[in-house]
Homo-oligomer: A and B are copies of this chain.
Amino acid sequence: MGRRAQAAAATLAQLTTPQKNVALVRMADALVAHIPELLAANDLDLAAATDLPAKFTDRLRLTKQRVQDMAAGLRQVAGLADPTAVIDRGWTTAAGLTIRQQRVPLGVVAMIFEARPNVTVDAAGLTVKSGNAVILRGGKEALHSNQALAQVLRSALADTAVPVDAVQLIADPDRRFATALMHLTDYVDVLIPRGGAGLIQAVVKEATVPVIETGAGNCHIYVDAAADLAMAEAIVVNAKVQRPSVCNAAEKLIIHSAVAPTYLPQLAAALTAHGVALRGDARARAIVPTMAPATAADWDTEYNDLIMAVKVVDSLDEAIAHINAHNTKHSEAIVTNALAAAQTFQRRIDAACVYVNASTRFTDGVEFGFGAEIGISTQKLHARGPMGLTALTTTKYLIDGNGQVRE
């Protein structure tokens, strides 16, 4: 599969933007044309998943509408700018060489993900658009669905300029094949795991191919002494409850002791009214005794649920130190009207996205204006924060001379 992906990538890298766009539209058409077969395959997975929680089977389930949404996603990607149609910069050297830094595809992208069949389609669309071949390895609970989706997508490519092997799925659920993929250093240019913290950490600890770590979000909102308290309430409630299951939702509330005694009861009431279970440190519980006690483990936990831990601090420094010690380097926010506090927070917090007076929920490729999102990188190498199509590219230097040799 590595060899076939590499060969497909070499062809893909030479295609024009319209050739890739035609393939994306054909992939979309094929999904819509094969809805009955796709739902039948999905039924096999759902029938085997009866012991699994409803939240899990909901993510696994395909419906006519969901397949149509996947197809719409592919058409939308076809409409985005081609990230490889860009020269980043150019200059002339002291020796008189002209250098252009041209964006090019990475080559072979691998993705290991859980039981969300939509990732199969999303990943295929984004990699084809950026000129990369992809090797997919989805969760075994979605195996029939993923096989059916991959089959439909590959068939759609058969009469396009994009090679069929641009999209390959590992059809055997044996873990050995996932492990082999993580060590395919001669063929895989980047591996992007998508899923829960357990999956991502397992990949990071095992893989020797280059990995982009995504998705873990233990995000904090710090309400400063100089905050606009009405704004703070709107931001905290939005960041916590608007979609609690996602990585850019806030998990922790840090509040300055100058405002906590009068303000925390009001904020706690607002959160509780939205169904949030609060867990406080001793000082927070002294103010709002109905909170459960937070344990040491709470400060490092991403709940992905309607739970929020609350800590009272005496200074901006204490807030920053706590956040840098416990965050996952994803998204952090301060609510303040004090310019110095805002600047210090942005300078000293170590995270992909550092907000002043806005909800952490904006950490998202589409909200950032990238048009699409491959994931949110929480590592520092190659890409950090929301990744658009450009994150699936690298560059090469094209150097033009007229006979230059080195002295």
Contacts and interface: CB of A to CB of B under 8 A. Distances in A.
Given A235-B403, A238-B406, A10 B350 contact: yes
Contacts of A13: 350
A392 B404 CA distance: 30
A200 to B, nearest CB: 11
Given A369-B93, A396-B353, A400-B356, A204 B185 contact: yes
Nearest to A211: B210
B106 A380 contact: yes
A369 B404 contact: no
How big is the A interface, by class?
35 or more
Contacts of A324: 10
A397 interface: yes
A405 to B, nearest CB: 4
Nearest to A207: B208
A335 B199 CA distance: 49
Nearest to A366: B94
Interface in A351-407: 351-359, 361-362, 367-369, 379-382, 384-385, 394-406
Contacts of A93: 362, 367-369
Given A211-B210, A362-B93, A396 B384 contact: yes
A379 B402 CA distance: 28
Contact of A208 (B14, B204, B237): B204
A239 B212 CA distance: 36
B238 A355 contact: no
Contacts of A190: 380-381
A205 interface: yes
Contact of A231 (B208, B384, B403): B403
Interface string A195-206: 000000000111
Contacts of A342: 400
Given A380-B394, A397-B354, A14 B95 contact: no
Contacts of A361: 405-406
A349 B238 CA distance: 50
Interface in A83-110: 91, 93-95, 97, 99, 106-107
6 contacts: A93-B367, A107-B380, A212-B381, A355-B401, A357-B402, A384-B397
